[in-house]
């Protein structure tokens, strides 16, 4: 039996049905609920709602594979699962275009004050000079992480007259006529825009901290559509207050469970959401109707279920 713990496109359910594969579709599944039934599972489809830890894996004595709908495997103990001969697959190819388009939209909205001025008009305020923006053309765009979403973002930017600096610790040889491979230091020192496209790991957590922001050579815009933990929120706020960055667009936060916030987290959140040069969206960069379909198709192909 396949247990599906997240919302999926009907193509996945239809595929299982056509192949007479038994499944349980429970998009509101909790950790405890999954613990109760995982011993029956031969496969597991998950997103980020439930942490697939050692305890769950030990209970899953029939499971053959875990499929992650989307990118980022930080919610799955992949190392332990692999040691138990459980195949772990993800499908970042499925929503790479959605994420890239969202990142570009956030960037243009920041630079041209689109969100800010639209909200002012809703309040009966009509300001033109105060909302004079910047053109993307001629800017240096730093992309940190050149996997599926980073490379897709670069392709979108290729139609603009920009210089793209891209850094990936684990890749090289991807430079071309519109992408310059750069070091992390070069991106920090030279970029007018810095966009993060990284998984959350021990290496990337708090990558953008006080040291990072203090090394900035320009006053850039910061875009993060990857994982909230890559940017240290307290240090980001300090950089904003000290005008080391022009603006910030975040689709992800360190803690996205707003109801669990400590007073300190509430203070951070209240500060960010009241700044005119900050845009926050609710982790929807990869959420498009097209991506919903492609994520399922890609994952099914990787699992050999087509």
Sequence-ordered list of residues with C-beta below 8 angstroms from that of 60, at least 6 positions apart, any chain: 38, 39, 41, 44, 86
Structure-token pair, residue 188? 């920090």
Sequence-ordered list of residues with C-beta below 8 angstroms from that of 167, at least 6 positions apart, any chain: 142, 143, 144, 145, 146, 181, 182, 183, 184, 186, 187
For residue 89, list its beta bridge partners. Answer: 67
Terminal alpha carbon distance of the chain: 17
pLDDT of residue 129: 97
pLDDT of residue 31: 96
pLDDT of residue 48: 87
Q: Are 255 and 225 in contact (CB under 8 A)?
A: no
Structure-token pair, residue 272? 């960010």
Distance between CA atoms of residues 194 and 143, nearest Å: 6
Fold match between domain 2-91+289-302 and domain 96-280: yes
pLDDT of residue 134: 97
Write down the architecture of domain 96-280 according to CATH.
3-Layer(aba) Sandwich (3.40)
pLDDT of residue 194: 98
The residues of the chain scoring below 70 in pLDDT are none
**Domain-by-domain residue ranges, the chain?**
2-91+289-302, 96-280
Secondary structure of residue 148 in the 3-state scheme: helix
Q: What pTM value is reported for the model?
A: 0.94
Distance between CA atoms of residues 60 and 288, nearest Å: 32
pLDDT of residue 72: 86
Measure Cα distances from 94 to 75, 168, 170, 233, 303 in Å.
Answer: 19, 21, 21, 29, 14
Kindly state which CATH superfamily the domain 2-91+289-302 is placed in: NAD(P)-binding Rossmann-like Domain (3.40.50.720)
pLDDT of residue 158: 94
pLDDT tens for each residue of 53-106: 999 999 999 999 999 999 889 999 999 999 999 999 999 999 999 999 999 999
């Amino acid at each position: 039996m396949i247990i599906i713990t997240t919302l999926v496109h009907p193509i996945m359910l239809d595929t299982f049905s056509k192949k007479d594969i038994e499944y349980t579709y429970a998009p509101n599944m909790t950790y405890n609920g999954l613990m109760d039934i995982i011993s029956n599972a031969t496969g597991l489809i998950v997103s980020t709602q439930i942490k697939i830890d050692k305890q769950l894996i030990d209970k899953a004595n029939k499971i053959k594979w875990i499929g992650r709908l989307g990118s980022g495997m930080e919610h799955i103990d992949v190392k332990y699962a692999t040691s138990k001969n459980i195949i772990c697959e993800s499908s970042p190819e499925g929503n790479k275009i959605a994420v890239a388009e969202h990142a570009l939209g956030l960037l243009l909205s920041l630079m041209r004050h689109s969100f800010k001025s639209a909200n002012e008009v809703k309040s009966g305020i009509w300001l033109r000079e105060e909302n004079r923006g910047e053109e993307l053309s001629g800017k240096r765009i730093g992309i940190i992480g050149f996997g599926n979403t980073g490379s897709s973002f670069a392709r979108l930017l290729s139609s603009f007259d920009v210089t793209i600096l891209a850094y990936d610790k684990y890749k090289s040889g991807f430079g071309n006529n519109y992408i310059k491979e750069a070091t992390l230091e070069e991106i920090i020192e030279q970029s007018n825009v810095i966009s993060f496209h990284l998984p959350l790991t021990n290496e990337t957590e708090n990558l953008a901290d006080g040291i990072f922001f203090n090394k900035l050579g320009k006053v850039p815009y910061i875009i993060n559509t990857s994982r909230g933990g890559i940017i240290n929120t307290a240090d980001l706020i300090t950089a904003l207050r000290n005008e080391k960055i022009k603006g910030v667009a975040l689709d992800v936060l360190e803690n996205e469970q707003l109801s669990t916030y400590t007073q300190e987290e509430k203070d951070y959140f209240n500060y960010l959401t009241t700044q005119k040069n900050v845009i926050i969206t609710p982790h929807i960069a990869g959420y498009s109707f097209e991506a919903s379909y492609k994520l399922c198709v890609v994952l099914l192909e990787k699992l050999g279920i087509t």
